[in-house]
Structure 1
Amino acid sequence: MISFFSAIPIVVLILGLYFIHRACTPPKELKLIPTVPIYKFAWAVLFNKGQHEIQRVISESDPEKFGLVKIFLFSGWSVLITNIEYARVFFSENAQAPDGHPIKRFFGKGISFANGEDRIRQRKMATPAFNKSLSPEMIGECTNELITLLNKWNDVPLDIFTLMKRITVQTLGKLAFSYDMKALDSLEEEPYFIKTYEKVTELIQNPIYMILKFTYKLPLKVNLELSQVIEEFDRLIYKVIEQRKLDIAKEKKSEDHKDLLANMLENIGNENFEHNVKDLRDELTAIFSAGHNTFALSAVFYNLAKYPKIQKKAREEAFKVLGDSSKIPNSENVKDLKYIKAIVKESLRLYPAVVMLPFRKVLKPVRFNQDVVIPERTSLSLNIWQVHKNSDLWSDEFKPERFMNQDDKENWIPFSSGHRNCIGQNFSIMEQIVITAMILLNFELSLPPNGQKFDKMPLKSSFYTLNPKDINIIFSKLKTIVEI
C-alpha cells in the first residue's frame, strides 16, 4: 500500500502535468489571440521587477498589435484588452468580479462592481451628491495646510507618494465626510486611517492573487490578515457615518450640508437607515478609492520636477490667472488654468493611476471582431497602460500641449469610459489643478541628484494600480517673482 507521504510527489506530478496541459491548450475560441508567456509574466510580478517590465512582457507578446492578449493564470485563461477599439466593446458589456475575491470583498456591492439596474440606481444616488460636494475652495484650504507643512521642510528631499497620500486623504475627508483626518499636522506619524486603507490595497494586490487566483479561497495567513484589516477599515467608515448622522441631526439647515456623506444620507432618508448603511459603506469605499488620487498627483509633481521648462510655463499661467501666491482658486479660475489641466491629463496618460481594471467574468459571449468571440464566463480586463502607450496613437514623450487644442481625446481613458466611467473623474482633475497651481505659486520643484538619472519614473510591481518606487522631490521656497 502506498503511504500518504510517498503519494505526495505523485499528486504533485499529476497536478503539474494537469496545469501544463491546460496552459498549453487554450479554449478554441481564444486560439487566435496572442499569448503572454506565463513564466515571463510570473517572473516580473513575483520578483518585483517593476511595472515597466510587466508591461514590456505584455507588449512584446503582441508584436502585430492584435489588441487582445491571453494569459494562463493557473485557475484558467484570461484575456487582456490592449487597444481602444476593443476597450469600447468592453465598456458596453456587463461583467462581474468573482464572489469572494479580495477586491469584491473590499468594495462590496458598490458602484465599482454593480451592473444593470443596480448600477443605474447607485449612480443616480451618488452622482448628484458627489457633484454637489465639489469645492475648489475646500481643496484650497487643505492645500494651504500642506503649504504650511512644506514651509517647515524646505530644500529637503521628501517622498512624494507619502506626501500626496496626506493631501488627498485630508481633502477627501473634509469634502466627503466633513471629517478632519489629521493628515497634515506633521510628517512624523502616518494617520491611522491612511495606514489602514493602504494596508487593504496592498493586500488585495498581492501577486499571489494574480498568478494563483484560487488562493483567495484557501485558509492562508494572508487571507486572514486581509479579513482583519477590512474589518478595521469598516469600523472606521461606520464610525464616520454614525458621527455624521448625529452631527446632521444637530444642524439647523440642510443647506449647511456641503459634504458628500451628508448629501447621500439625505438621499437615502432615515426610514431604512440600518438596511442601507451597508450599501452606503460600499458606496463610500468606492468613492474614497476614486477620490484618493495619490499616484496621479505624484506623477504630476514628478513630471514638473523633471521638466523645469514645463514647470516654469505652468507657474506663469498660475500667476496670470490667480495673481497672488495666497489666493485660493474658485471654479472660474480652475477653468482658466488650461495648461495646468493639460499637464494633469498628460501625466494621467503617461502614468494612469489605475493601470489595469480588475478582472471580471463576462455574463454572455462578447464579439470583438469577425473572428474572435470571447466565451461566456471568460475573465476579461482592460490594460489602460497599453492603450495609452500605443505608438500608433501617441508619442512616448511628455507633451502637455497635445491636450491644449482638444480637451478630451477619445483614446484617453484613465478613468475608464462609458457606463464604467469613474464617478470621481471631475473631482480628481479639479483637485489636481488646484493643488498644483497653489504649490507652484509657493515653491520650485526639483529632483535630487540621484533622481535625475532616471529616464522613466521608477515603479513598483503592484498590478492594478501604479506605485512609485522611492521618488523624492525637493520643495524650495519660491524666491523670484514671476513676471506676467
Structure 2
Amino acid sequence: MTTTGTEIPGPAGLPLLGSMLDLKRDSLGTYLHAQREHGDVVRITAGPPGLRVEIYGVFSAEGAQQVLATESANFRKDNPFYEEVRQSFGNGLLTSQDTDYLRQRRLVQPLFTRRRVDGYAASITDETSAMLATWRNAPDATVDVAAETTRLTLRAVARILFGVDVESAVDVVQRSFPIIGEYTLTRGYSPANFPRSWPTPANRRATAAMDELYAECDRIIEKRRADGDAAMGEDLLTLLTHAESDEDTPLDASEVRDQVLVFLLAGHETTATSLAFALHLLARHPEEQTRAREEVVRVLADGRVPGAADLDALPYLTKVLKEAMRLYPAGPVVGRQAVAASEIDGHTIPAGATVVVAPWVTHRHPRYWDEPERFDPERFTPEREKARPRYAWFPFGGGPRACIGQHFSMLESVLALAMILQEYELEAVDVEVPVSTGITLRAAGPARCVLRPVGRGTGPA
C-alpha cells in the first residue's frame, strides 16, 4: 500500500507550532527519534499556522540513493536554506544549479584529480608540524582538539588556495566566517525574514563581515590576475584563474571568488570536524588508539613525515576516519526540494515538498549498523563495506553533486592524524562533546585531550 501526502506518518508535535521547537532545540535528535518511531519516510510539520512548513524525512539508504543519485534531477537545491547560503557565500559549486553548475564542475574538476591533490601533501604536513610545535608548550599538556583542528584545516586550505597570501586571508576568515555562518543559518531556518537590505543590527553586522571577506578575496584575485604569467604557480587560486575547457569560457573574477568562498567554507570546517572527532574518539578508546599508532610506526618506521604515497599503506587510520565520519558526519542533514511527486519506500512525496536525507540518521540505522552508537573502525573492512547498501554511509553526499573534495579531505585527515599519533598519546578530558548543526556539524563545547609524548613515560609533558 502506498501512502501519500498527509497520510505519511510523523510526530504530532504541538497544536500551534508542530515540531518547530523540537527542531530548533535538537534537530538531529528529532530526526533520529522520528525514524525510530515512524519509519524511513516521515512527515514533520513545523511553524505557526500561516507559516507552517512540511518536511519529508527520507532515512533509508535506498531512499537517500534515490534522492541524491538515481532521481537527483527531481530533487533540487531550491529550498530557502540554500538560497541564504547562496546569498552569503556566492553561487559556487555548493549552491549553483543546472548549466551554471555543469560549467563550473567541468572547469574545476581537473583541479581535484588525485594526482593534483596529492601535490598538496607537503602544505598539509608543514601546517601540521607547525601545530604540533605549539602543542609542546600547551598549558597543563592539554589541548582542545576541536579548536586546534579548525585552525589547522583553515591554515592548510588557505595556504593551498592563496599560497604566499595565506596570513591576511586567515585573519579575515577567522573574523568573518562565524558572523556570516550564524547569520545565514538563522535566516535559512526562519519562517520569515526581514530583507537583507534593511539596516537591522544583524544585517549590518553580516554585511560588514561579508564586505571584508569579499574585499580580501577580490584583492588577492586581482593581484594574481595583474601579475599574469609571473604569478603562475601551483596554488589553487592561480589554477582557478587559468581554468579552461574546450566548451566553456574561463571563470570571471566574481566566479573565481564564489569558488574560493565555497572552498574556504567546505574545505576547512568539514575536515576539521572529521579530524577532531577521530582524535577524540581515539582518546576515549585506548585499544583502538594503540592499534592506529602501531600502524603509523610500522609504515613510518624511521619517524619520517608521511606523504601522499603512504595513504594506501595506512588502512586502519582510514577506517578510524570513516567511522568518525559515520558517527559525526560533517553534513549531517542534506536538504532538497521535489520538482514532481515521487514514490520512495512505498510513500509518495508530493511535488514541491521539502525533502531531507540525513547521514546522521542513516549512519545510525540498525538495519545497516549493529550497535550503531559504538565506535568500531572494523565496520569498514572491504568485506563489510561491500555487504552494505551504497548509501548506508554517505558523509560526502552522493550522486552527480557528491563533494568534489573527498580525496583532499581524506588525505589531509590521514596525514595529520598520522603525524599527531607519531608524537602523542591522547587521553580525553571531556568524555562527551555536544554538537551543533550550523552550515556544517561542529563541536558545541570543548573536546579537550591530555597529551603524553610518545616514548617519554606516562606522565603529562
| Structure whose CA Rg is larger | 1
Residue equivalent to 2:382: 405
Aligned with 1:34 (options 10, 22, 25):
10
Query: Which amino acid counterpart does residue 128 of structure 1 have in structure 2?
Result: P
Distance 1:40 1:298 in 2: 35
Distance 1:474 1:213 in 2: 43
Residue equivalent to 1:7: none
Deviates more, 1:336-345 or 1:229-238: 229-238
* Superposed displacement of residue 272, structure 1: 7.6
Aligned with 2:354 (options 363, 379, 392):
379
CA shift in 2, pair 1:272/1:119, >3 Å: closer
* Superposed displacement of residue 128, structure 1: 1.0
Residue equivalent to 1:18: none
5 Å matches for 1:64-103? 64-73=38-47, 74-91=51-68, 92-94=71-73, 95-98=76-79, 101-103=83-85
Residue equivalent to 1:420: 401
Aligned with 2:34 (options 61, 79, 84):
61
CA shift in 2, pair 1:371/1:306, >3 Å: closer
Distance 1:155 1:248 in 2: 49
User: The residue matched to 1:34 in structure 2 has which SS?
Assistant: coil
5 Å matches for 1:267-346? 267-268=243-244, 276-292=252-268, 293-325=271-303, 327-346=304-323
Answer yes or no: is 1:474 the counterpart of 2:450. yes
Question: Which of structure 1's runs of 4+ aligned residues deviate more than 6 A?
Answer: none
Residue equivalent to 1:258: 234
Residue equivalent to 2:413: 432
Deviates more, 1:166-175 or 1:60-69: 60-69
Distance 2:228 2:325 in 1: 37
Distance 1:477 1:441 in 2: 9
Distance 1:40 1:476 in 2: 50
* Superposed displacement of residue 177, structure 1: 2.1
Deviates more, 1:400-409 or 1:302-311: 400-409
**Matched-pair identity in %:** 20
RMSD over aligned Cα atoms: 2.9
Residue equivalent to 2:92: 110
CA shift in 2, pair 1:28/1:177, >3 Å: same
User: The residue matched to 1:466 in structure 2 has which SS?
Assistant: strand
Distance 1:354 1:370 in 2: 26
Deviation digits for residues 338-377 of structure 1, max 9, x if unmatched? Answer: 10010000000001011112x33333333324541321x2
Residue equivalent to 1:128: 110
Answer yes or no: is 1:349 the counterpart of 2:326. yes
Distance 1:285 1:217 in 2: 23
Distance 2:40 2:301 in 1: 50
Deviation digits for residues 71-109 of structure 1, max 9, x if unmatched? Answer: 334352222222211111211323133479421212332
**TM-score if structure 1 supplies the norm length?**
0.80
* Contact 2:341/2:350, CA 8 A, preserved across alignment: yes
* Contact 1:352/1:466, CA 8 A, preserved across alignment: no
* Superposed displacement of residue 33, structure 1: 3.8
Answer yes or no: is 1:139 the counterpart of 2:124. yes
CA shift in 2, pair 1:193/1:418, >3 Å: same
The aligned length equals: 429
* Contact 1:36/1:61, CA 8 A, preserved across alignment: no
Deviation digits for residues 197-231 of structure 1, max 9, x if unmatched? Answer: 2222222222x642x33225474432343233222
* Contact 1:112/1:286, CA 8 A, preserved across alignment: yes
Answer yes or no: is 1:235 the counterpart of 2:212. no
5 Å matches for 1:202-217? 202-206=182-186, 209-210=188-189, 212-215=190-193, 217=195
User: The residue matched to 2:452 in structure 1 has which SS?
Assistant: strand
Query: Which amino acid counterpart does residue 308 of structure 2 have in structure 1?
Result: S
Structure 1, unpaired ranges of 5+: 1-26, 184-189
Aligned with 1:245 (options 221, 225, 232):
225
**TM-score if structure 2 supplies the norm length?**
0.84
* Contact 1:102/1:216, CA 8 A, preserved across alignment: no
Query: Which amino acid counterpart does residue 296 of structure 1 have in structure 2?
Result: S
Answer yes or no: is 1:43 the counterpart of 2:21. yes
* Superposed displacement of residue 57, structure 1: 2.5
